[in-house]
Structure 1
Amino acid sequence: MKQLIKSILFLLACLVVTSCSTTSRLKPGQYLYTGADININPDSSARIDDQKEVKKTLESKTRPTPNKSILGIKYKLLIHNLAPDTVKPKGIGNWLKNKIGEPPVLLSEVKIKYNNDVLKSYLISQGYLQSDVTGDTVIKGKKGKAVYTVNTGIRYKISSITFPKDTGNLTHIINLNKDKTLLKIGDFYDLDTYKNERIRIDNDLKESGYFYFSPDYLILQVDSTIGKNLVDINVNIKNSSPDAGLKPYTIKNINIYPNYNLRRDSLLRSLMPLQYNDFNIYDNRNTFKPKLFDRLVFFKKGENYNRKDHNQSLNRMVNIGAFQDVRAEFLPIDSFKNNQLNLNIYLTPLKKNSLTFSVTGTSKSNNFVGSEVKLTQTTRNLFRGAEQLDVSLSGGFETQVSGQSRGLNSYSFTAEGKLTFPQFIVPFYKPRVTNAFIPKTIASLSYQLLSRGSEYSLNAFKAEFGYSFKENIYKEHNLNPISVNYVQPSFPSDSVEKSLYLENPYLRSALERQFIIGSNYNFTYTNQMEDKRRNNTYFFGSIETGGNLWGLFVQKNDLGKREFFNTPLTQFVRLETDLRDYYKINRNVTWASRLNFGYGYAYGNSTSLPFVRQFFAGGSNDIRAFRARTLGPGTFKVKPDAKFADQGGDIKMMLNTELRFKIVSVLYGAVFVDAGNVWLRKEDKGDPAIPGSGRPGSGFKLKNTLSELAVGTGAGLRIDAQIFVIRLDGAFPIRKPYLPSGQRWVLDQVDFGSKTWRKENFILNIGIGYPF
């Protein structure tokens, strides 16, 4: 306790010293600027709506901004002051002084009148039409601040909204859609809403052919003289609007240049085009099949221009992955004298063949780290329909750096072929998708050899045929109606195999020969791309079946099991959901949470999910206070000296919550709590012929679920450089489900000073990317 008090006193002393050092280099007459204070309606007892938010916004609009600080310490200014007055133009001294550090922001830099005008302008834009702002400076010692007194007055509301009279096609469209207006009677006057209303009207007109219309051609006249702090809004068309913006345009010719570059420009334009449906295709090399453009271009001859077709066409041509440059040009015929446009589409294809070589480092949730070398050959436009064939070969080496199997080495070789068609290929049916995203049909075939040294090897074959489709920017679907997996284990000798199974009886299910024939479907929803949202959500759901349909056709063997090529057919249904929420407390602090549930039901030939489809708990992206894949199932605990420690289950429940905050620059911190476990649907009673082969407590019982959850907590550091994230998390358990009931909470046993406790409980996780 005395040591703690000394540490606190030392920290306080350091804060006082650093506070003084920030002003020690100021010259006479100079004062360090510490920021702005906003006093809203100080002479009135009434508070305005959202006063805290308004005050915070006003403070952010004042200039200059004071020196950056953490916990009141102006660390950048401190670093600047630690450097000598004169430093070389190049070198670490200049880097520390001017790049990491920052010079003092002085009170003399504050322009009171300018800030008064900025703050008043903002208040007027928010409906405080009678607001007034006065500012002054206050000096104390060597520091000074700006104080602004804001008298807002009463906020004005909308009394009525008038749209232009229906005198023609343009005004008719405006009136036809006025029920969608963002302006509502009774709402507060808000300049941003008015700007967005002009954009809304412009979008409506663009959908009806008004290609050259602009939001600037609209004027919203505000009458604030009607009294009672109300305003009338009159929406109208400016008299100065050009004629080209006030008439709709139709598409006359659609000219497509599929193999365009500047060097061939004059040659291509002189060609006799291939006429296909509504398109004139200029390509003497027949680079693409004409019918491809039916799926890429949504415009038709004679139709009105509309922005939806424009955006969807561009998005499809960009996202199809066949072109390095896409350009759409709309040209008026006869210099705006009529109402027709020619559409010219210029497409520059990517190279047909490319070869990529990569060397990557890997860090997995099961504590394996290593590297991989990969060579990929890509062939584009294989059948002249923008198809893509990827053939890759890779080899890697991994070693387990922690856990019960520490020091275990793994070698792998993988060969994969993937053919992607930019359309749905469905027998006896031709679905047509009309949104901006390209549907894909994907066929893949792969083989992997995984060798665990002198213990065992796995030969895995996988074939899939399916579809990938984005419904919109938020929703994505992946369906594989056919998915075939075959796993064939091998051992150096029969004696090694028997030794492994005797030492780890449950290893038999993990390394048995498996044939999985089934289907799977995944759905993903996310709005994380919307940075302005305070709350972002991610949802992933999947369903997978194995052996369901094939089980009807495969005959049973003498033992009553269904076999396919002398291999037991695995039969199961597997469900999983992953829900994540990201709540921005402020610009630099985010509260992230995740709920993950999984359930598997095996039947027929199987009593539990195949090992490769089971759920696992523990690891750097899971419950971080426990070694990867070693938690559970249920209250079972794997032996500390087990060579094969991976423990899977048919059921999983997990909750993670994490507070993420910015420390400085690209360095972020986090504190977190993880909870969860996995269970077998039926308890593993083992082989009666092998004593101790069962896993007592591994079965799932609903009434015991909460009492069998593991809980861990910890903290971490992250380097987030946008293009990559390196993560270091330290975690320890505070609840151990494998202990006797009533003794599972172990928070009172936490002892960082004990080497034995740290060895048994403290887990250090190194990862790439965020855990969720």
Structure 2
Amino acid sequence: MISCLMIAACSTTRHLPEGENLYVGASVKINPDSSGKIKDEKGIKSVLEGKTRPLPNSSFLGFKYKLFFYNLGGEPGKEKGLGRWLRNKWGQPPVLGSQVKLKYNNDVLRSYLSTIGYLQAEVTGDTVVKNKKVKAIYTAQTGERYKINKVTFPKDSSGIAANINNNSSKSLLKAGNFYDFETIKNERIRIDNDLKEAGYFYFSPDFLLIQADSTIGKNSVNLFVKVKESTPDVSKKPYTINNITIYPNYNLRNDSAIKAAEPVLYKDFKIMDPKNTFKLGVFDRLVFFNKGETYNRRDHNQSLNRMVNIGTFKFVKADFIPVDSFKNNQLNIDFFLTPLKKNSLSFQVTGTSKSNNFVGSEVKITQTTRNVFRGAEQLEVSASGGFEQQIKGGQSKQGNSYSLTGQAKLSFPRFLLPFFKFNSTNAFIPRTNILASYQILSRADYSLNAIKGEFGYNWKESIFKEHTFNPISINYVKANLKDSSVLKTSPALRNSLENQYIIGLNYNFTYNNQVDDSRRNNVYFSADLETAGTVAGLLTSKNDIGKKTLFGTALSQFIRLEGDLRNYYKLNKNMTWANRLNVGYGYTYGNSTTLPFVRQFFAGGSSDIRAFGARILGPGSYISTDNTSTFRDQGADIKIMLNTELRFKIVSIFYGALFVDAGNIWTRKEDPNRPGAQFKFNSFMNEMAVGTGAGLRMDVSFFVLRLDAAFPIRKPYLPEGKRWVINDLNFGDKAWRKENLTFNLGIGYPF
């Protein structure tokens, strides 16, 4: 291996032009002759090295693979066939030492240092040649970093200057902070935003001048905020809204006819909709401007966001037109809205491969109808069917399953509340959803017919926070239990698969700031609450055996809580440390002794504890020893799971991962048929399963294909004192691999 690497390394310089050297990159030394360290020296050094040009040839683990393929193709101009293809497809010509411009890079690095406050910085560059390879070395003498001594804002007591001065308390420029050019640019943007909120529609950050006086000594600067004298007069005055015209069925082909149509006056709006496509009340919830009010950016952005997010329009455009050529300080607004097609059909095919050796496929077809009742409503009707087949050793085994599902969902872009009209005022459109579905699921040990109906609301509090509340949720599950030794010997499992009504409410809160890529640390949190049988139990009577029933079928009665907390920390631009904590708890009462099967917690699988098969881990220290049935799904009332994963870029669209998963499930009460399954505070930590492994991902932004290989290092079902199995690892043993090594193929990241 060492010989191959040495040969490959030599090949990178073999075909260089006469008198040339291969450029291998740059390094930066900061204040090497002084003992003083600067703040965030490592980060600044990394930025400086990234700003040098040219960039060296691409490499992986020090191997310049693109240059290797370039040279493998033969000499330039003489290569043919495969050689030409290697050069053009995979190769990269050598970056030569003669391409390095030291003076240019010196100026670039010195300029950057001055933007972060090192106003007296000096940078010198030199090159070092060894074995036909050249490296650039830059030495930066930073001097002291300058701080802001005082910030002065315009003193005028009227007009635009007064507005800037009145909002000076919100300034990003603070006395005592380091001088930073990025902060100065952001301060100009902040001032511009404040002015836009006050009606200064035609103002721009470029009309602001922030001057720095560094002659006051003591490594300090005074900053002066001014409006440029060259600023146009139209940008120095606030504007009010005059006419608001809406074209809800606009297209360029019929532009003249639409604009010539007779407008319908509705409140402050002129609506140009000759085909009467939308109800007039729709625009109350889309347009936040009112005639006569001062223009502000908040209403501008919220109006556009709502029009885009309502899911009815393909194109959205707003034109602001000055009245009488800027003389009246008024703006007319024209909203041009181009609807999507009323009907659309989508077809989806998915393939699945699970860690419990089930492979299968699902086909789904969805019909979407928009603007159903002329109020921007949306109706989705879908039908799907899928199957799973268990494969072991290349042969089909028992355990086949199939499912058929039909679903209809009607969504209203507003809150539907009896006796109360509620209008949200943020940029996100609240929705009222009505859902109905029917599913048939057949497996080797049982079959389920499930009818579901829900009525509820979904709304966003902000870009990060989302709520879903379904005050009415009705599920009817009819189970057909087949002949199975597992079901016969497990009353708890049989009870969870009884015919039952699940009537109650559910609520979900989600916080997710991953949309903000500028953060180094991102957080995702989801909390679920579901109750069943509480209100319905008060309205129904007991049967002969003391159970609350509806139409002769028992009511499920439980409270179910689940929380999912994830943290993503960017170690650098190509490496992220991801962590997850997932906990769940189910409390049953009244009719129910166990959670319904469809509401239980499970452990194991490709997005869970990956060293163990899907749904076969636990509960507690219990392990199923029944080999007569394919049914091994182990559900329970309590779950604790922790995952940690280091994700890193390998090359191009390929990423790698190293991970550790830990967790288990437990029953709330003792289960005589599953000894060791009950959760106990003094022993649950000793019953945690632990697995580890590595993964390969192909990430093309909109699609992620994932392959994980995992193996257990702690098995909770082994006798105490023998549960850690790290010493038993033996990758060379075929029997060990067959028993312990688990491969998981998935779509998307596990969390």
TM-score with structure 1 setting the length: 0.94
* Structure 1 residue 560, shift from structure 2 partner: 0.8
> Does the residue aligned with 1:383 lie in a helix, a strand or coil?
coil
Q: Distance in 1 between matches of 2:503 and 2:194?
A: 50
Q: How is 1:173-212 mapped onto 2 (pairs within 5 angstroms)?
A: 173-212=163-202
Q: How is 1:358-373 mapped onto 2 (pairs within 5 angstroms)?
A: 358-363=348-353, 368-373=358-363
Name 1:673's counterpart in structure 2: 660
The Cα offsets for residues 435-471 of structure 1, whole Å up to 9 and x where unpaired, read as 0000000000000111226x43211111111111111
Q: How is 1:732-747 mapped onto 2 (pairs within 5 angstroms)?
A: 732-747=711-726
Among candidates 467, 472, 485, match of residue 482 of structure 1 = 472
432-441 or 142-151: which moved more?
142-151
Q: How is 1:346-357 mapped onto 2 (pairs within 5 angstroms)?
A: 346-357=336-347
Mapped contact 1:517–1:547 kept (Cα < 8 A): yes
Name 2:727's counterpart in structure 1: 748
Is residue 2:529 matched to residue 1:543? yes
128-137 or 594-603: which moved more?
128-137
249-258 or 371-380: which moved more?
371-380
* Structure 1 residue 696, shift from structure 2 partner: 0.4
* Structure 1 residue 79, shift from structure 2 partner: 2.3
Mapped contact 1:507–1:644 kept (Cα < 8 A): no
Name 2:745's counterpart in structure 1: 766
Name 2:616's counterpart in structure 1: 630
Q: Distance in 1 between matches of 2:487 and 2:593?
A: 19
Q: Distance in 2 between matches of 1:102 and 1:76?
A: 5
640-649 or 621-630: which moved more?
640-649
The Cα offsets for residues 163-205 of structure 1, whole Å up to 9 and x where unpaired, read as 0013313122111111000001011111111100000000000
* Structure 1 residue 26, shift from structure 2 partner: 1.6
Name 2:428's counterpart in structure 1: 437
* Structure 1 residue 355, shift from structure 2 partner: 2.0
Q: Distance in 2 between matches of 1:585 and 1:650?
A: 37
Q: How is 1:721-736 mapped onto 2 (pairs within 5 angstroms)?
A: 721-736=700-715
> One-letter code of the match for 2:710?
A
> One-letter code of the match for 1:632?
G
Q: Distance in 1 between matches of 2:63 and 2:642?
A: 36
Is residue 2:564 matched to residue 1:573? no
Q: Distance in 2 between matches of 1:120 and 1:498?
A: 77
* Structure 1 residue 101, shift from structure 2 partner: 2.7
Name 1:719's counterpart in structure 2: 698
Q: How is 1:462-501 mapped onto 2 (pairs within 5 angstroms)?
A: 462-490=452-480, 496-497=482-483, 501=487
Name 1:688's counterpart in structure 2: none
Among candidates 452, 464, 469, match of residue 443 of structure 2 = 452
Name 2:43's counterpart in structure 1: 53
Is residue 2:2 matched to residue 1:12? yes
Structural RMSD (CA): 1.8
* Structure 1 residue 137, shift from structure 2 partner: 1.5
Among candidates 422, 427, 431, match of residue 413 of structure 2 = 422
Name 1:124's counterpart in structure 2: 114
Is residue 2:54 matched to residue 1:68? no
Question: Structure 1 pair 333/88, CA: closer, same or farther in 2 (3 Å)?
Answer: farther
* Structure 1 residue 135, shift from structure 2 partner: 1.2
> Does the residue aligned with 1:265 lie in a helix, a strand or coil?
helix
Name 1:584's counterpart in structure 2: 570
> One-letter code of the match for 2:666?
W
> One-letter code of the match for 1:639?
T
Name 1:7's counterpart in structure 2: none
Mapped contact 1:367–1:619 kept (Cα < 8 A): no
Name 1:5's counterpart in structure 2: none
Q: Distance in 2 between matches of 1:613 and 1:752?
A: 38
Name 1:226's counterpart in structure 2: 216
* Structure 1 residue 27, shift from structure 2 partner: 2.7
Q: Distance in 2 between matches of 1:481 and 1:368?
A: 36
* Structure 1 residue 731, shift from structure 2 partner: 0.6
> Does the residue aligned with 1:260 lie in a helix, a strand or coil?
coil
Name 1:614's counterpart in structure 2: 600
Mapped contact 2:146–2:220 kept (Cα < 8 A): yes
Q: Distance in 2 between matches of 1:255 and 1:158?
A: 48
> One-letter code of the match for 1:336?
F
The Cα offsets for residues 586-608 of structure 1, whole Å up to 9 and x where unpaired, read as 11111111000001100001112
> Does the residue aligned with 2:182 lie in a helix, a strand or coil?
helix
Question: Structure 1 pair 92/521, CA: closer, same or farther in 2 (3 Å)?
Answer: farther
Is residue 2:308 matched to residue 1:318? yes
The Cα offsets for residues 663-707 of structure 1, whole Å up to 9 and x where unpaired, read as 11111111110000000000212xxxxxxxx00001110110110
* Structure 1 residue 253, shift from structure 2 partner: 0.2
Is residue 2:644 matched to residue 1:653? no
Q: Distance in 2 between matches of 1:547 and 1:236?
A: 66
The Cα offsets for residues 619-643 of structure 1, whole Å up to 9 and x where unpaired, read as 0000000010000001100126242
* Structure 1 residue 136, shift from structure 2 partner: 1.7
Q: Distance in 2 between matches of 1:340 and 1:87?
A: 66
The Cα offsets for residues 106-141 of structure 1, whole Å up to 9 and x where unpaired, read as 111111111111111111111111111111221112
Question: Structure 1 pair 569/329, CA: closer, same or farther in 2 (3 Å)?
Answer: same
Q: Percent identity?
A: 64
Q: Distance in 1 between matches of 2:739 and 2:431?
A: 49
* Structure 1 residue 721, shift from structure 2 partner: 1.1
Is residue 2:546 matched to residue 1:555? no
> Does the residue aligned with 1:309 lie in a helix, a strand or coil?
helix
Mapped contact 1:405–1:644 kept (Cα < 8 A): no
> One-letter code of the match for 2:302?
Q
Q: How is 1:74-93 mapped onto 2 (pairs within 5 angstroms)?
A: 74-85=64-75, 93=83
Among candidates 236, 247, 250, match of residue 240 of structure 2 = 250
> One-letter code of the match for 2:586?
G
* Structure 1 residue 93, shift from structure 2 partner: 4.4
The Cα offsets for residues 328-364 of structure 1, whole Å up to 9 and x where unpaired, read as 1000011122200000001111111222223222345
Q: How is 1:21-36 mapped onto 2 (pairs within 5 angstroms)?
A: 21-36=11-26
Question: Structure 1 pair 369/19, CA: closer, same or farther in 2 (3 Å)?
Answer: same
* Structure 1 residue 503, shift from structure 2 partner: 6.2
* Structure 1 residue 406, shift from structure 2 partner: 5.5
Is residue 2:525 matched to residue 1:532? no
Question: Structure 1 pair 424/739, CA: closer, same or farther in 2 (3 Å)?
Answer: same
Mapped contact 2:476–2:502 kept (Cα < 8 A): yes
> Does the residue aligned with 2:376 lie in a helix, a strand or coil?
coil
> Does the residue aligned with 1:757 lie in a helix, a strand or coil?
helix
> One-letter code of the match for 1:234?
F
Name 1:283's counterpart in structure 2: 273
> One-letter code of the match for 1:677?
N
76-85 or 666-675: which moved more?
76-85
Name 1:301's counterpart in structure 2: 291
* Structure 1 residue 39, shift from structure 2 partner: 1.7
The Cα offsets for residues 511-544 of structure 1, whole Å up to 9 and x where unpaired, read as 3212100110001111111112111111111110
> Does the residue aligned with 1:549 lie in a helix, a strand or coil?
helix
> Gaps spanning 5+ residues in structure 2: where?
none
The Cα offsets for residues 253-307 of structure 1, whole Å up to 9 and x where unpaired, read as 0001111111221112222211111000111111101111000000000001100
Q: Distance in 1 between matches of 2:470 and 2:632?
A: 32
Question: Structure 1 pair 87/578, CA: closer, same or farther in 2 (3 Å)?
Answer: farther
The Cα offsets for residues 477-529 of structure 1, whole Å up to 9 and x where unpaired, read as 001111111111236xxxx5365633665541343212100110001111111
Question: Structure 1 pair 87/352, CA: closer, same or farther in 2 (3 Å)?
Answer: farther
356-365 or 614-623: which moved more?
356-365
Mapped contact 2:73–2:79 kept (Cα < 8 A): no
> One-letter code of the match for 1:38?
V
* Structure 1 residue 81, shift from structure 2 partner: 2.0
Mapped contact 2:159–2:236 kept (Cα < 8 A): no
Name 1:4's counterpart in structure 2: none
Question: Structure 1 pair 640/84, CA: closer, same or farther in 2 (3 Å)?
Answer: farther
Name 1:261's counterpart in structure 2: 251
Q: Distance in 2 between matches of 1:365 and 1:419?
A: 36
Question: Structure 1 pair 367/538, CA: closer, same or farther in 2 (3 Å)?
Answer: farther
> Does the residue aligned with 1:296 lie in a helix, a strand or coil?
coil
> One-letter code of the match for 1:741?
E
Is residue 2:697 matched to residue 1:707? no
> One-letter code of the match for 1:44?
S
> Does the residue aligned with 2:624 lie in a helix, a strand or coil?
coil
